[in-house]
Chain A
Amino acid sequence: MIRSVGLTKKFGDFIAVDNINLNVNQGEIFGFLGPNGAGKTTTIKMLTGTLRPTSGSIEILGMDMKNRAIEIKRRIGVVPDEPKIYEHLKGYEFLEFIMSIYKLDKAEMKVKIEELCDAFEIDYLDKLAGEMSHGMRQKLMLISVLMRKPEVLFLDEPTVGLDAKSAKILKELLMKYAREGATVFMTTHILEIAEKMCDRVAIINKGQIIAEASVSDLKQKYQASLEDIFLALTATNDIKDIVDSL
């Protein structure tokens, strides 16, 4: 479903993403983990067509991103890390805007939206986006994607700003979608989420993938929790020293 070969992104002399090979299968929930500045967001932006790679190839749903970007975007959904919704649009107007772009059946979507609003406790669709909190906009962004039930979902830190209940519902929903055949590619800082949800994870650091396996395989190999594995691999296991020195 998601394939990249030799994916690289340079900004001048700085290599943000260095020769990444990814292979995410249908129905998988794939966690893309890494410390701040590792290249997670850059990678996800290349995979979703916002940024062009410096080199390498991307295939989503068997289609080359270089030549068939619009077709790909029709079938994928992207939830960015920052829900930058137009401030002067009301919640339902934003959803209508998305429906127009995707030429969706409004009656059908209305039912779906109502279900999702109930699930995520969204009762503010008549509010202007500019008046919503970060969490409220994040939920709105989520349902604008989930209502379409895309075949591939890209989520960049999807639980940031969500309350505990909404985060739990999102996790369960993503797992349900994956069971139904959707592919989920998500980045997260919350390793517990990755541990519980993801079939496989990749850890990226300084633009390079330093580990990629199923969570269970990683834990078996390193005989440690995912958090400890992550910290060990990203060379941040001197936390005690850091804390003691403060």
Chain B
Amino acid sequence: MLKDALIIMGKELRNIFRDKRTIFSTIILPVVLFPVMFGIIGLITKANEEAKAKAEYTVYIESTLSQPDELTKVIDEIHKVGNFGIVNDGINEKTIESNSTAVGLKIGKNGDIFVATVIYNSVKEKSTYAAQKIREALMNLNNELVSAELLSRGINPQELNFVQVNDMVVGVSAENGNVEEAKAKGQFTQMLAALVPYFLLIYIFAGSMGLGIDTTAGEKERGSLSILLVNQVSRTSIALGKILYLMLMSILTSVLNLVGLVIGLYLEMSFLGEANMPFSIELDAIGYLLLFITVILLALISSGIIIFIGILARSVKEASGYITPIYMIILLFGISTMQSEGSKAFYYYAIPFINIIFTMKDIFIGTFSVANFLTMLVVNSALVVLFVYLTAKIFNSEKVLEVTVE
């Protein structure tokens, strides 16, 4: 039976790799899409940041300060943080509302304390940026004034630190115990733990949908299923062959998507000036093996569900109609768990798809538990067997296969 299933799988694979459109969408697009997408996002973000930094802003000042040199100090600090022109004629809120590079500053004093109100349009990015810079300037002024006051009282501001904080990172290795490198590596691993399970879940399922529907409902529509039915292959072999084919293709597309994702993330970080972030994760051989097993299971379940639904449907359109809501649910699983950490309560590992997400997170962040992994393995394996069994039953069912009879 397995041999026949592998023959069917081989036929399906050959069929797929002949179609140029499928090769493009299955192999080329996943590797190219993320780097292009994230690269563009990175470039645009970088360009935006540079544009904001280079832009000329106007600060409209309404001052009630009695001493001219006080206002001069404020203006000097403002000049240090950016390209600001000063208009000391009062504030017109309508001007600030309409002009994206305008910001207002009401400054006065209450005793010895400067009281400042920053006026800006929070809808406009540049206005918000300018406001942030004005605040930064005012905080710098505050720090200077504090230092000066302390020094005037004979107190060295440096001596006012009573707590010194150092970081020590565990669980993440770094060259020469470099803390900053370890921190950055940990951050990167956290990011992967959030994104990779989500993306794998989405792309393994989404990557299988089109191919799975084509090899089931599509083949029914085209009438080529009948060739298999009249030949000496058992219908169970046909079911298994199609599931194996889809599993292989979904793993391939997910690996390619993953490669594209990692390259894309790295490109984006490079454009944003964070290329010094260590591009490595803390995963040993066992970790990779466990991850691989988890991905295989995910591919098998996704393939099993899609093949089962595809063969139930009478047409490609009907199959898409059945599978889309399931895809939406899976999307929801992915999104709702993205920010969660691993190592959840035991029952999470008994819920298909969710258990895969948390297992992957556990593997990435090192909170792996054998009990949880085995639970995930058993539950998902049982589900795969169930879908193979149900699919084989459907293949042997008259009602569904009659659709192919013209």
Contact = CB atoms under 8 A, between A and B. Distances in A.
Interface in B357-406: 398, 401-402, 405-406
Given A84-B224, A84-B227, A98-B231, A52 B11 contact: no
Nearest to B17: A88
Interface in B225-261: 226-227, 229-234
A49 B224 contact: no
Contacts of A51: 398, 401-402, 405
B224 A85 contact: yes
A200 B77 CA distance: 108
B4 interface: yes
B230 A49 contact: yes
A50 B230 contact: yes
Nearest to B234: A70
Contacts of B10: 100
Contacts of B234: 70
A101 to B, nearest CB: 5
Nearest to B222: A84
Contact of B11 (A45, A48, A86): A86
Contact of A70 (B224, B227, B232): B232
Contacts of A82: 223, 406
Contact of A86 (B4, B15, B229, B233): B15
Interface stretch (A59-67, A73-81, A185-193, A232-240): A73-81
Given A100-B7, A101-B7, A88 B230 contact: no
B226 A102 contact: no
B398 A52 contact: yes
Contact of A78 (B4, B15, B230, B233): B230
Contacts of A87: 15, 222
Nearest to A129: B224
> Does more than half of chain B's interface fall in helix, strand or loop, or is it mixed?
helix
A93 B12 CA distance: 12
Contacts of B230: 48-50, 73, 78, 80
B54 interface: no
Interface in B1-35: 4, 7, 10-11, 14-16, 18-19
Contacts of B233: 70, 101
A50 B405 contact: yes
A87 B406 CA distance: 19
Contacts of A45: 405
Contacts of B405: 41-42, 45, 50-51
A222 interface: no
Contacts of A97: 7, 11
A128 interface: yes
Nearest to B229: A50
Contacts of A98: 231
Given A84-B224, A88-B18, A74 B232 contact: yes
Interface string A76-115: 0010101011111100010001101110000000000000
Given A45-B405, A49-B230, A78-B230, 19 more contacts: A49-B229, A50-B230, A50-B401, A51-B398, A51-B402, A70-B233, A74-B232, A82-B406, A84-B226, A84-B227, A85-B224, A86-B15, A88-B15, A88-B16, A89-B14, A97-B11, A100-B7, A101-B233, A102-B232
30 contacts: A11-B402, A48-B230, A50-B226, A50-B401, A51-B401, A51-B402, A51-B405, A52-B398, A70-B232, A70-B234, A73-B231, A73-B232, A80-B230, A84-B222, A84-B223, A84-B227, A85-B227, A86-B15, A86-B227, A87-B15, A88-B14, A88-B15, A88-B16, A89-B15, A89-B18, A98-B231, A100-B7, A100-B10, A101-B233, A102-B231
Interface of A: 11, 41-42, 45, 48-52, 70, 73-74, 78, 80, 82, 84-89, 93, 97-98, 100-102, 128
Q: Shortest 4 CB-CB distances between A and B: which pairs?
A: A88-B18, A84-B223, A78-B230, A73-B232
Interface of B: 4, 7, 10-11, 14-16, 18-19, 222-224, 226-227, 229-234, 398, 401-402, 405-406
